């Protein structure tokens, strides 16, 4: 069922059930992070391997402090500046966080989502919510309640509808290795903004088997239909005999019917492009096409996260 009723969501979560929740980045599939049985249902519904840890979602910085051993000074400054927001921090976990949440790792991923409905829900609950993106493992993350319903609707009791996601790509994941700040996933908070606040960040988000973010397998976010990246005019020529879907940054192409074209932002706006990316990929993936062609966009701001998702979608499963 899809609805906006916080009481229903709250009572299901208190009873150890899973509920899909809106966030500003993507929809999450949530359960009581302190209840291992509830959390195990997330893995089952998503068909997610148990070695892939979950992010916990907290109402505010005080709640974050309750579930981690300590908040290093740079983490505190990031929380001050960017929470609630599209920022996830990897911090030493408190013993109350069950092993199933972190897949046995000593650190827990924590974030404060910037969505009014979910913040209200978190304030009303006396536990944090463990929540991965609300998609079957390996598929494109959902950015609307309908996306969640399309794939998981018959497997979960409730989808809390908070409208379309305002950011549209998953959170940026930041951790600390000794004194070094490390970025493990490019996301909805731009690297430039983080570096402007706390100085240089080491980017480790490119590896195909990054042990710090085991879920970042190269083929993540993959659509069903093959997706190739390159120069669009050339790709359209090479694949002229195929039924083609197209994802461009801002340009339209007369050769492709408009229903098979996703223009991420006509004005070349990165935020708008990020908002449109996953819905566009889903729309083309549902069409009767042989191939999706796409182009990378400038590697700056949210362009980094958009390009990362496009590259993962283009990678063949390992």
Residues that bind ligand TXA (CB under 6 A): 23, 25-26, 28, 52-55, 88, 90, 102, 105, 107-109, 111, 113, 131-133, 170-171, 173, 212-216
User: Which CB atom, from 35 or from 133, has the smaller least distance to Mg ion?
Assistant: 133
- Residue sitting closest to Mg ion (CB): 133
Q: Which residues of 215-226 are buried (b: 16+ CB within 10 A; e: fewer)?
A: bbbbebbbbebe
Q: Which does 161 bind (CB under 5 to 8 A by kind): ligand TXA, Mg ion, none?
A: none
User: Which CB atom, from 21 or from 235, has the smaller least distance to ligand TXA?
Assistant: 21
Q: How many CB atoms lie within 10 A of CB 172?
A: 30
Measured CA distances, 20 to 2, 198, 286 (Å)? 9, 34, 22
User: Which CB atom, from 39 or from 293, has the smaller least distance to ligand TXA?
Assistant: 39
Q: Rule CB under 5 A: is residue 172 a binding residue for Mg ion?
A: no
Cβ 139 to ligand TXA shortest distance, Å: 11
User: Which CB atom, from 103 or from 256, has the smaller least distance to ligand TXA?
Assistant: 103
User: Which CB atom, from 83 or from 213, has the smaller least distance to Mg ion?
Assistant: 213
Two tokens, residue 155: 């497997």
Q: Which does 312 bind (CB under 5 to 8 A by kind): Mg ion, ligand TXA, none?
A: none
State CA 153 to chain mean position distance: 19
For helices 116-124 and 6-14, the axis angle rounded to 10 degrees is: 50
* Whole-angstrom distance, CA of residue 4 vs CA of residue 94: 32
C-beta of residue 21 within 8 angstroms of C-beta of residue 9: yes
* Among the listed residues 75, 86, 79, the one whose alpha carbon sits nearest the alpha carbon of residue 60: 79
* Subset of residues 129 to 158 that bind Mg ion, contact rule: CB under 5 A: 133
Q: Which does 54 bind (CB under 5 to 8 A by kind): ligand TXA, Mg ion, none?
A: ligand TXA
Which residues contact Mg ion (rule: CB under 5 A)? 133
């Amino acid at each position: 069922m899809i609805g906006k009723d916080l009481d229903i969501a709250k009572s299901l979560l208190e009873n150890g059930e899973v509920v899909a929740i809106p966030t500003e980045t993507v929809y999450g599939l949530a359960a009581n992070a302190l209840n291992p049985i509830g959390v195990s249902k997330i893995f089952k519904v998503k068909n997610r391997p148990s070695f892939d840890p979950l992010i916990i979602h907290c109402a505010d910085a005080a709640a974050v402090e309750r579930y981690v051993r300590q908040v290093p000074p740079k983490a505190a400054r990031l929380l001050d500046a960017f929470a609630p927001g599209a920022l996830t921090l990897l911090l030493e976990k408190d013993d109350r966080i069950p092993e199933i949440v972190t897949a046995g790792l000593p650190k827990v991923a924590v974030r404060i989502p910037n969505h009014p409905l979910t913040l209200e829900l978190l304030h009303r609950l006396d536990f944090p919510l463990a929540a991965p993106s609300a998609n079957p493992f390996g598929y494109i993350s959902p950015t609307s309640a309908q996306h969640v319903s399309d794939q998981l609707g018959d497997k979960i009791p409730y989808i809390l509808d908070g409208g379309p996601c305002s950011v549209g790509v998953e959170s940026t994941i930041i951790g600390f290795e000794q004194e070094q700040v490390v970025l493990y996933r490019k996301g909805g908070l731009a690297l430039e903004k983080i570096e402007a606040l706390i100085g240089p960040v080491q980017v480790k988000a490119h590896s195909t088997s990054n042990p710090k973010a085991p879920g970042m397998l190269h083929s993540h976010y993959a659509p069903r239909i093959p997706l190739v990246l390159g120069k669009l005019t050339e790709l359209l020529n090479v694949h002229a005999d195929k039924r083609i879907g197209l994802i461009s940054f801002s340009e339209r192409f007369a050769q492709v019917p408009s229903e098979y074209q996703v223009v991420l932002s006509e004005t070349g706006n990165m935020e708008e492009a990020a908002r449109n990316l996953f819905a566009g990929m889903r729309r083309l993936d549902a069409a009767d096409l042989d191939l999706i062609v796409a182009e990378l966009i400038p590697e700056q701001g949210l362009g980094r996260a958009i390009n990362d998702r496009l590259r993962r979608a283009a990678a063949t499963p390992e």
